[in-house]
C-alpha cells in the first residue's frame, strides 16, 4: 500500500509587494492621521468611509497607458459576472459616492477619507502594492476659494504633525496656463502636444538647457545615448521655456511673466487669473510665499488635472543611503479635476482635492526626530506566585483604571528573569513585583526599567549613580510612584 503523501506546510512569507506593520508603526500612523483629521474637521470637512471594493466599471480607466479595465488593480469576477476590484485610490470612490448620493448631499460636498489602497503593479524599493492615502476634497464648486482653502489646509496639516514653517512649501501651478502655453506654441497635433508635456515633466532632471534640446532635435543623455527631440522650432519652443523660467521674486512678478508666456491664449489668461485669485486669498489669510508659493515648475500630474495643481515639498536636508545630503522632497499633491464625476452624471461637476502620502510623511517625521521608531510599552505586573493570579489581576486593573497601560505576565512564571526579559522586549517602562512577603505587608516592588536600559547603554554612571532603580511602596501609593518615575523621562 502506497504511503500517503504529506500535505506540504505553507510558507510563512509576506506576499510579494506587501509588508507587515507592527506596534509602534501602527500607533505612529494612527496618531498622525488623527492630527490630520482634526485639521480637516476644523475646516468643516466630514469623514467618509467608502467601500474598499468598487466595480471595475465605476473605477474606469484608472492607470495611464492601460487598455484593459482590470489591469493594474486586484480584480475578480463576481457570481453575476460583474468585475470587482480593490480601490486603487480614494478619489474614484468619491466620484461614485457623490454621483450616487448627490441629491442627499450638500453642495458643495466637503469630505475627507483615510485608508489603504491597492495597486497591482510591479513592486520595488519603498514601493508596495498596498499603502495608505489621506485625502480631502471639495465637490460641487468652481470657486478658486476652494482650491486656495485646500492649500492652506495642507500647510496647517504639515505644521500640526510636526513639520515647522521653513521646512516645507506648498507650490501651486495651473493646467490652464500650460494649455495656454501649448496654444501659444502653435502645436495642434495631440501626439506632439503629449510629447511636449512629457518633455516639460523632465525639467527637474535636465534643466532649461536639457528641455530646450529635447523640445528641438534631441540630446545626449548621461549614458551617451541620443534621445530624439519633439521637433519644435526655436520660436515654438520659446513659450515653453518662458513658462518654465517664469518664476519671479514674488507672486506678482511670476504672474506677469506667465501672462507673457501664454501670449494671446484665452485659456492661458484664465489660468493666470485663477492663480492671481488664489495668491490674493493666500495673502489675505496670512499664508506668505514662504508657506504657499506660485511656482510654474510644478508640472507633475498636470495631465490629470483641469485647473490649479499643487504639491507640498519638504525643504530640509536628509542623508541618503550613501551618506549624501539631499532634500526630502514631495509628500503630498493635488489639484482641480472637473471631469471625474462627469463619467457618472454626464454633466461637468467641479471638484478639487489633495492626497497626502502617509508613508512619505511618516518617514519625514522620523527624519526630523519628531517621531520615535520605538513606542513605550505597557507596565508589566510580574507573577511570583501562580496561585495568586487574581491578586495580580487586581493590581493591573487598578493601573488601567488610573489611565496607565498595563498587563499581567501570562507566560510561564517559573523563571523570573524571563519575565524581565519579556518586559524589556515589550519596552516596558516599569515592572511591578509582589511576592507572598510583599502581599502580606501590603506593599509592591516597582522596578524602573527605563533607568536599567540607560545604565546599560551609557559610558559613565555618574548621571545615574544616585538614582535607585527599584522602590518598595504601599499598594495604595503604587500609581503615584509609577507616575513619578514616568515623569522623570
- Helices 144-161 and 358-367 sit at what angle, rounded to 10 degrees? 40
- Quick count: other Cβ atoms within 10 Å of Cβ 250? 12
Burial class (CB in 10 A: 0-12, 13-18, 19+), 112: buried
CA-to-CA separations, 40 to 53, 137, 150, 154, in angstroms, rounded = 25, 10, 9, 9
Strands 351-357 and 379-381, how do they pair?
A: unpaired
CATH fold label, 23-367: BirA Bifunctional Protein; domain 2 (3.30.930)
Indicate the pTM of the whole model.
0.84
* Residues 312, 261: Cα–Cα separation, whole Å: 25
N-term to C-term CA, the chain: 69
pLDDT for res 278? 97
pLDDT for res 317? 75
Q: Where are the alpha helices (DSSP H) in 301-382?
A: 342-345, 358-367
* Residues 405, 410: Cα–Cα separation, whole Å: 16
Q: Give CA 47 to chain center in angstroms.
A: 17
Q: Are 422 and 380 in contact (CB under 8 A)?
A: yes
User: All 3 cell numbers of residue 387?
Assistant: 496561585
* Residues 423, 413: Cα–Cα separation, whole Å: 13
Element (H, E) at 109: strand 109-118
Residue 175's nearest CA partner among 166, 167, 183 is 183
Q: Across the strands, what pairs with 139?
A: 109, 351
pLDDT for res 259? 94
Q: Across the strands, what pairs with 75?
A: 85
DSSP state of 447: E
pLDDT for res 70? 57
Nearest-5° angle of CA 332, CA 337, CA 343? 130
* Residues 489, 487: Cα–Cα separation, whole Å: 5
Domain boundaries, the chain: 23-367, 379-487
pLDDT for res 349? 92
Nearest-5° angle of CA 481, CA 482, CA 483? 90
Size of the chain, expressed as the number of residues it contains: 489
Q: Where are the alpha helices (DSSP H) in 43-117?
A: 56-59, 91-101
Q: Across the strands, what pairs with 474?
A: 443
What are the per-10-residue average pLDDT scores of the chain (489 residues)?
78 91 89 96 97 90 48 87 91 94 95 94 83 95 97 97 93 93 87 86 86 89 83 90 91 94 93 97 96 88 83 83 74 91 89 93 82 80 94 97 96 92 94 95 95 65 67 96 92
* Residues 158, 364: Cα–Cα separation, whole Å: 10
Top CATH class of 379-487 equals alpha beta
* Residues 380, 44: Cα–Cα separation, whole Å: 42
Amino acid at each position: 500500500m502506497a504511503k500517503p503523501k504529506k500535505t506540504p506546510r505553507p510558507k510563512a512569507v509576506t506576499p510579494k509587494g506587501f509588508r507587515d506593520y507592527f506596534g509602534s508603526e501602527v500607533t505612529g500612523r494612527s496618531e498622525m492621521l488623527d492630527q490630520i483629521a482634526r485639521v480637516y474637521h476644523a475646516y468643516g470637512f466630514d469623514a467618509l468611509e467608502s467601500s474598499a471594493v468598487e466595480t471595475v466599471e465605476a473605477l474606469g480607466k484608472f492607470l495611464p497607458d492601460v487598455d484593459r479595465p482590470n489591469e493594474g488593480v486586484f480584480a475578480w469576477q463576481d457570481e453575476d459576472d460583474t468585475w470587482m476590484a480593490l480601490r486603487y485610490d480614494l478619489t474614484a470612490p468619491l466620484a461614485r459616492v457623490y454621483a450616487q448620493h448627490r441629491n442627499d448631499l450638500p453642495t458643495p460636498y466637503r469630505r475627507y477619507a483615510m485608508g489603504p489602497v491597492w495597486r497591482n503593479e510591479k513592486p520595488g524599493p519603498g514601493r508596495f502594492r498596498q499603502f495608505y492615502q489621506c485625502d480631502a476634497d471639495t465637490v460641487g464648486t468652481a470657486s478658486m476659494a476652494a482650491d486656495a482653502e485646500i492649500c492652506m489646509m495642507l500647510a496647517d496639516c504639515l505644521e500640526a504633525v510636526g513639520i515647522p514653517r521653513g521646512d516645507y512649501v506648498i507650490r501651486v501651478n495651473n493646467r490652464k496656463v500650460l494649455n495656454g502655453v501649448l496654444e501659444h506654441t502653435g502645436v495642434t497635433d495631440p501626439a506632439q502636444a503629449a510629447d511636449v508635456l512629457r518633455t516639460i515633466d523632465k525639467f527637474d532632471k535636465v534643466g532649461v538647457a536639457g528641455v530646450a534640446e529635447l523640445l528641438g532635435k534631441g540630446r545626449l543623455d548621461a549614458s551617451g545615448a541620443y534621445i530624439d527631440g519633439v521637433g519644435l522650432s526655436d520660436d515654438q519652443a520659446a513659450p515653453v521655456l518662458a513658462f518654465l523660467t517664469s518664476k519671479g521674486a514674488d507672486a506678482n512678478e511670476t504672474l506677469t511673466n506667465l501672462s507673457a508666456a501664454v501670449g494671446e491664449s484665452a485659456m492661458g489668461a484664465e489660468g493666470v487669473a485663477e492663480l492671481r485669485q488664489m495668491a490674493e486669498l493666500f495673502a489675505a489669510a496670512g499664508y506668505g510665499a514662504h508657506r504657499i508659493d506660485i511656482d510654474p515648475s510644478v508640472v507633475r500630474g498636470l495631465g490629470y488635472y483641469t485647473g490649479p495643481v499643487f504639491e507640498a515639498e519638504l525643504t530640509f536636508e536628509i542623508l541618503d543611503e550613501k551618506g549624501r545630503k539631499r532634500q526630502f522632497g514631495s509628500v503630498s499633491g493635488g489639484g482641480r479635476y472637473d471631469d471625474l464625476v462627469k463619467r457618472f452624471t454626464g454633466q461637468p461637476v467641479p471638484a478639487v482635492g489633495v492626497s497626502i502620502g502617509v508613508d512619505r510623511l511618516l518617514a519625514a517625521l522620523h527624519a526630523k526626530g519628531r517621531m520615535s521608531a520605538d513606542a513605550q510599552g505597557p507596565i508589566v505586573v510580574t507573577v511570583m506566585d501562580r496561585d495568586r493570579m487574581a491578586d495580580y489581576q487586581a493590581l493591573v486593573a487598578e493601573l488601567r483604571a488610573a489611565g496607565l497601560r498595563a498587563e499581567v505576565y501570562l507566560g510561564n512564571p517559573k523563571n523570573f528573569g524571563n519575565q524581565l526579559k519579556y518586559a524589556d522586549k515589550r519596552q516596558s517602562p516599569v515592572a511591578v513585583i509582589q511576592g507572598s512577603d510583599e502581599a502580606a505587608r501590603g506593599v509592591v516592588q516597582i522596578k524602573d526599567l527605563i533607568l536599567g536600559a540607560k545604565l546599560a547603554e551609557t559610558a559613565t554612571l555618574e548621571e545615574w549613580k544616585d538614582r535607585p532603580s527599584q522602590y518598595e511602596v504601599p499598594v495604595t501609593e503604587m500609581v503615584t510612584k509609577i507616575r513619578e518615575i514616568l515623569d522623570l523621562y
